[in-house]
Amino acid sequence: MEKTLKKEKLNSLITGLKDKGYKTIAPKKDNNLITLCEIQEADEIHFDHVQTNNSIKEYFLPKTEKILSYTIEKTKVSIEEPEGFAVKSVVFGSRPCDAASLPIMDKVFNWDCTDKFWIERREAITIVTIACDKCDSYCFCTSVCLAPDAKQGSDVLLTKISDDEYLVETETEKGEGLIKELETVFSEPPSGTPDRQVATVEKKFEIDKVKPWLDENFVHKIWAEFSTKCIGCGACTFVCPTCHCFDIVDECTMSKGDRVKNWDGCQFKMFTLHTSGHNPRSTQDQRWRQRIMHKFKYYVEKFDNILCVGCGRCSRVCPADMNISEMLEIISTDEGQPEPVSKE
């Protein structure tokens, strides 16, 4: 289905969503950060930015969430299942790269058994994406088989066609349902070919060259070179829409407790530390290799998807100026013979 949305109708859209019982999550300016967060009014929505600082991930895999609660009474324990975590919502104005991360992540959360916390939120949340009309030097969606107007993962895709108008395209039944629910807000599609204002994102590397290189070079001096600057802060994993690793811990008083899933990351030393003190990834170069390998080799072999959408957040946020697309560029153009370094 195709429609248009005039900017002047945004107010009716956001009020309409509220009336229909949706919570709305949208980019909002908060001090100097543009953050995807819950909004109440259309005025709060920020449009003129490249990318939000946080990714869409936290609305499906929260930073911290209860996966069960229990009460301990002497020798007996009773368990209560968390409820109400999947709230009917619309994410409005996230980017195509963020939306594209969702079907990729579905694969791991559905691998043989289903993580209901992820999947029930996926069902409850509708994604209305705005195609990018600008980008920065960190963006590299076009290098990972996506585009600034990619449709993957979006239920509705909005594309700017003039200063005050968006083309509205529905990509799923869920998206179509949403547009129908709020029919009066949208106008008929323009006659003729609309002038889609979409950014041009430069292609930085040939993705086809990356995995073959990784297949051969688990041992390579590049890993140490890449990681020398990294301080292991893990910020890159937290802002990443496709980093799904988590920890499970108990939080408890004497008689009541919650079992909680928290974001975790492969860049932390503790992540793989055995209780014996042995650590299979004890150095930062091993941990950086894991990050690249997981995203561009392991996930591809397991689930036939690259675990990266080229949003550039990891590189924007890194305090040590590590840049993943520069690394992938080096990897994809490395013609030389592998130069193995000695194993530790």
State yes or no: residue 270 binds ligand FAD (CB under 6 A). Answer: yes
Of 134 and 269, nearer to ligand FAD (C-beta) is: 269
Q: Residue 310 binds which one of ligand FAD, other proteins, ligand SF4, none, with CB within 5 to 8 A depending on kind?
A: ligand SF4
Q: Is 65 helix (H, G, I), strand (E, B) or coil?
A: strand
Binding site for ligand SF4 (CB under 6 A): 230-236, 239-242, 267, 295, 308-314, 317-320, 322, 324
State yes or no: residue 275 binds ligand FAD (CB under 6 A). Answer: yes
Of 1 and 231, nearer to ligand SF4 (C-beta) is: 231
Of 254 and 270, nearer to ligand FAD (C-beta) is: 270
Q: At which residue do the structure tokens 């993580």 appear?
A: 115
Can you tell me the distance from the alpha carbon of 138 to that of 312, in angstroms, rounded to the nearest whole number? 5
Residue by residue, DSSP assigns 91-118 as: EEEE-HHHHHHHHHHHHHHTSSS--HHH
Q: How far is CA 241 from the centre of its chain?
A: 2
Of 76 and 208, nearer to other proteins (C-beta) is: 76
- Contacts with ligand FAD by CB under 6 A: the residue count is 3
User: What is the nearest approach in angstroms of ligand FAD to the Cβ of residue 278?
Assistant: 11
Out of 273, 317, 320, 330, the only residue in the binding site for ligand FAD (CB under 6 A) is 273
State yes or no: residue 245 binds ligand FAD (CB under 6 A). Answer: no
User: What is the nearest approach in angstroms of ligand FAD to the Cβ of residue 265?
Assistant: 14
Task: State how far the alpha carbon of 123 is from the alpha carbons of 16, 169, 191, in Å.
Answer: 20, 20, 34
Of 176 and 326, nearer to ligand SF4 (C-beta) is: 326
Give all strands (DSSP E) within 1-124, no chain letters: 2-6, 23-30, 33-39, 64-73, 76-80, 89-94
- Please give the structure tokens belonging to residue 150: 């990619």
- Label the pairing between strands 76-80 and 2-6: unpaired
State yes or no: residue 280 binds ligand FAD (CB under 6 A). Answer: no
User: What is the nearest approach in angstroms of ligand SF4 to the Cβ of residue 338?
Assistant: 23
Can you tell me the distance from the alpha carbon of 3 to that of 190, in angstroms, rounded to the nearest whole number? 8
Residues that bind ligand FAD (CB under 6 A): 270, 273, 275
